[in-house]
Structure formats: C-alpha cells, structure tokens
Amino acid sequence: MSTFQQIIQDPKPVLIDFYATWCGPCKMMPPILTQLKEKMGENLRIIKIDVDKNPEVASKYQIRGVPTLMLMRESKVLWKQSGVQEVNVLKQTIEQHLEI
C-alpha cells in the first residue's frame, strides 16, 4: 500500500477528499467522487483522508472544515475548496488546473 507521501509525489494528479465520519455533507461526496472517477478515468487518482484519524495531515494542509477537496500533483497543491462540490464543476476545475 502506498503512503500518502508517495501518492502525492506522483506525476498523476490526486484529488484528496478530507472528510469526517460524523460530517453530514461529507456523506454526499462518495457518489459524486464515483461519478468523477468514471468521467476522468485514469487521468486522476482519488483518495479519502479521515481528518480524525490523520490530524497531522489535516493540520499540515490547514484543513479547517470538512469536506475539503484538494488537488495535488508532484507534492504541489493546485487547488483547494471546502464544501460539497458538484461533479461537473469539479471535473471542469480539475481540467483547468491540469490542462487535460
């Protein structure tokens, strides 16, 4: 299993979903992320980080609220947004940052 550091260093872009199990809006994200993965295919990797189990990662990236989505490539933060995101808006945002 890859570590978080290995995953974010990858040249393949990574969308990170910072969430908490107690967070209502966070529960809306999995079907949206599934749709996004279907649309983006192998162009994008999607991972989920539970902020309660990984407080050091949440702190490092200044995650103040959940859900927060963050797009990274080669350890660089390209985009970060809190709140539930609509799938087509997400796809468009990612494509703008990656120039796919």
User: Tokens representing 75?
Assistant: 């350890």
Question: Which 8-state DSSP code applies to residue 91?
Answer: H
Average pLDDT over residues 70-99: 94
Least confident of 39-43, 63-67, 87-91, 95-99: 95-99
H or E, element range at 22: none
The residues annotated with a catalytic role in the active site are 23, 26
Per-residue pLDDT tens over the stretch 9-53: 989 999 999 999 999 999 999 999 999 999 999 999 999 999 999
* Mean pLDDT over the full length of the chain: 94
User: 45 CB contacts (<8 Å, ≥6 apart)?
Assistant: 7, 10, 12, 13, 14, 15
- Assign a CATH topology to domain 4-98: Glutaredoxin (3.40.30)
> pTM value?
0.94
Domain chopping of the chain, boundaries: 4-98
